[in-house]
C-alpha cells in the first residue's frame, strides 16, 4: 500500500451513482418542462425526450429481453411518474412505449426480442399499443376490429383502429386480430407503421394529450410476418400480460397527483386563510397517494399471478388511481382559483389531463364492469 492510500480517510464514501429514476427526473426537469406548453397547446410530440428517456433506461427496467432477467415494474412506474409530474401527455407516450416493451419481453419470440425488442428498450425504436379494442373485446364490451387470414410466412390483416398513440412512420405497435377461418381464434403481433397496407391517419384534436401522436390506423391486407407474432393463440398470453399492462398505467396517475398536491401547496401561503375551508386538503391526497403507491408496488412484485383475487386487486388499484387523479386535479383547480384558470395555468391543464387517466382503456366504466363480472363490485 503506498503512503497516499494509507493516508486517505476510509470514511470518505464515493458519491452514490445517480439512479435511473433520478436521471429521468433530472431529464424531465431540464428537457421536458420547457416544452410542456407547446405539447399541450400546439400538440408538439417530444420525440427527442422520448428517445433520451430510453437512452437513460426508462423503458428497460420492467422488460428484460433475456430469459431470467429481473422484472422491475416499480422502477418503470416511478420513472413514468417523474415525467407525469410535468406532463401527462409524455408520461402516456412512455406508457405506450413501456407496454410495447412489456409485450415483447413477455413473449417467447426470441427474434423479436433481439431485433425490435432491444431497440424499444433504448428508445432507438419507438411505438405503442393498439390494445384498447381487444381489451374491451375480451371483457365483452365491443367486437374485435382487426381480422386476418394466414398467408405464406405470416398473416394478411384488414380492419381499422380508431386511436393508437406514440406513432410515426417508423414506429411499431402491438395489435390483436382474429382469424374468421379458424373459429375466430385470436393472435397478437407487432405491427410496423411503415409496412405496406398500413396507413396512419390524423385524428380529431383532443382537449389534452394532443402531443401523443395519436392516429387512426387502417390495415388493408397488411402483411404481418410470423417473426412479429407475440402469441398464437393469445389464450395463455393475455392473462400473463394483463396485470403489467394495467399496473404500469399507475405511473401517469402518481406523477399527476404529486404535481396537483404541489399546486395546492404552492398557493397555501397566500390563500390558506380561505383554502382551509375546502373539504379536501393536500394532506388528504398525500395519504391517498401513499396508500395507492404501497398497493401498486406490492402488486408489481408478482405480475404473473393469475388468480382472480390478485387481478381484482389490480383492477381496484387502477380504478382508485383514475378516481384519485380526477379528484386531485379538481382540487388543484379549486385551491388555485383564477390563477389556475388562465390559458397557460397548470391546474386547468392537469384537470384536462386527469380525465385521460379515467378514460383510457381500461376506463372507469370498464373497470367497474370487470369488478361486477368478478362479483367484486
Ligand atoms: C388521446 C387518446 C389516446 C389514445 N391512445 C390509445 C392507444 O394508444 N391505444 C389504444 O388502443 N387506444 C387508445 N385510445 C383509446 C382509449 O384507450 C379508450 O379506448 C377510449 O378513450 C375510449 O374508451 P371507452 O372505454 O370510454 O370507450 P367508449 O368511448 O365508450 O367507446 C369507444 C368506441 O366508440 C367508438 N367511437 C367513439 N368515438 C369515436 C370516434 N370519434 N371515432 C371513431 N370511433 C369512435 C369506437 O368504436 C370506439 O372503440 C386513446 C384515446 C385517446 C382519447
CA gap 115, 52 in Å, rounded: 20
Dihedral angle of Cα 296, 326, 245, 302, to the nearest 10 degrees: 10
The CATH class of 237-373 is mainly alpha
pLDDT digits (tens, 9 = 90+) for 3-38: 444 445 555 677 677 899 999 999 999 999 999 999
Report the atom number in ligand 1 closest to the C-alpha of 141. Answer: 25
SS3 365: helix
Q: Ligand 1 mean position to 134 CA, how many Å?
A: 12
The finding on whether 300 has its CB within 6 A of some atom of ligand 1 is no
Supply the CATH classification number for the domain 129-231.
Answer: 2.40.110.10
Question: What's the confidence (pLDDT) of residue 204?
Answer: 83
User: Which residue is closest in CA terms to ligand 1's atom 7?
Assistant: 164
pLDDT digits (tens, 9 = 90+) for 263-311: 999 998 889 999 999 999 999 999 999 999 999 999 999 999 999 999 9
The CATH class of 20-125 is mainly alpha
The finding on whether 282 has its CB within 6 A of some atom of ligand 1 is no
User: Which residue is closest in CA terms to ligand 1's atom 50?
Assistant: 163
pLDDT digits (tens, 9 = 90+) for 171-229: 999 999 999 999 999 999 999 999 999 999 998 899 999 999 999 999 999 999 999 99
Q: Ligand 1 mean position to 360 CA, how many Å?
A: 7
Report the atom number in ligand 1 closest to the C-alpha of 130. Answer: 11
Pocket test for ligand 1, best of 163, 219, 326, 362 (most atoms within 8 A of CB): 163
Domain borders along the chain are 20-125, 129-231, 237-373
How far is the CA of 161 from the CAs of 64, 146, 184, in angstroms? 29, 8, 18
Report, as an integer, the average pLDDT of 332-339. Answer: 97
Question: What's the confidence (pLDDT) of residue 322?
Answer: 98
Amino acid at each position: 500500500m503506498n503512503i497516499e492510500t494509507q493516508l486517505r480517510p476510509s470514511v470518505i464514501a464515493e458519491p452514490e451513482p445517480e439512479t435511473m429514476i433520478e436521471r429521468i427526473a433530472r431529464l424531465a426537469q431540464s428537457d421536458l418542462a420547457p416544452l410542456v406548453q407547446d405539447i399541450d397547446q400546439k400538440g408538439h410530440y417530444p420525440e427527442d425526450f422520448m428517445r433520451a428517456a430510453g437512452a437513460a433506461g426508462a423503458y428497460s427496467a420492467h422488460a428484460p429481453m433475456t430469459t431470467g432477467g429481473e422484472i422491475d415494474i416499480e422502477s418503470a412506474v416511478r420513472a413514468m411518474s417523474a415525467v407525469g409530474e410535468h406532463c401527462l401527455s409524455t408520461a402516456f407516450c412512455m406508457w405506450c412505449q413501456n407496454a410495447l416493451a412489456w409485450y415483447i419481453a413477455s413473449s417467447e419470440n426470441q427474434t423479436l426480442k433481439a431485433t425490435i425488442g432491444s431497440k424499444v428498450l433504448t428508445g432507438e425504436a419507438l411505438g405503442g399499443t393498439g390494445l384498447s379494442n381487444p381489451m374491451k373485446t375480451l371483457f365483452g364490451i365491443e367486437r374485435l376490429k382487426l381480422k386476418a387470414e394466414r398467408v405464406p410466412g405470416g398473416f394478411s390483416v384488414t380492419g381499422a383502429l380508431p386511436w393508437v398513440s406514440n406513432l410515426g412512420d417508423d414506429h411499431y405497435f402491438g395489435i390483436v386480430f382474429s382469424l374468421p377461418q379458424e373459429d375466430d381464434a385470436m393472435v397478437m403481433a407487432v405491427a410496423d407503421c411503415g409496412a405496406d397496407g398500413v396507413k396512419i391517419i390524423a385524428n380529431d384534436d383532443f382537449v389534452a394529450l394532443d402531443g401523443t401522436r395519436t392516429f387512426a390506423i387502417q390495415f388493408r391486407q397488411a402483411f404481418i410476418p410470423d417473426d412479429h407474432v407475440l402469441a398464437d393463440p393469445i389464450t395463455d398470453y393475455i392473462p400473463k400480460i394483463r396485470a403489467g399492462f394495467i399496473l404500469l398505467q399507475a405511473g401517469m396517475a402518481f406523477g399527476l397527483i404529486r404535481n396537483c398536491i404541489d399546486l395546492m401547496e404552492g398557493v397555501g401561503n397566500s390563500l390558506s386563510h380561505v383554502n382551509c375551508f375546502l373539504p379536501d386538503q393536500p394532506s388528504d391526497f398525500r395519504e391517498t397517494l401513499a396508500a395507492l403507491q404501497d398497493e401498486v408496488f406490492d402488486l408489481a412484485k408478482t405480475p404473473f399471478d393469475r388468480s382472480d383475487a390478485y387481478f381484482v386487486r389490480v383492477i381496484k388499484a387502477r380504478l382508485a388511481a383514475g378516481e384519485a387523479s380526477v379528484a386531485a386535479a379538481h382540487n388543484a383547480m379549486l385551491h388555485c382559483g383564477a390563477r389556475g384558470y388562465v390559458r397557460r395555468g397548470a391546474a386547468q391543464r392537469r384537470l384536462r389531463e386527469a380525465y385521460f387517466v379515467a378514460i383510457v382503456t381500461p376506463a372507469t366504466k370498464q373497470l367497474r364492469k370487470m369488478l361486477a363480472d368478478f362479483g367484486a363490485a
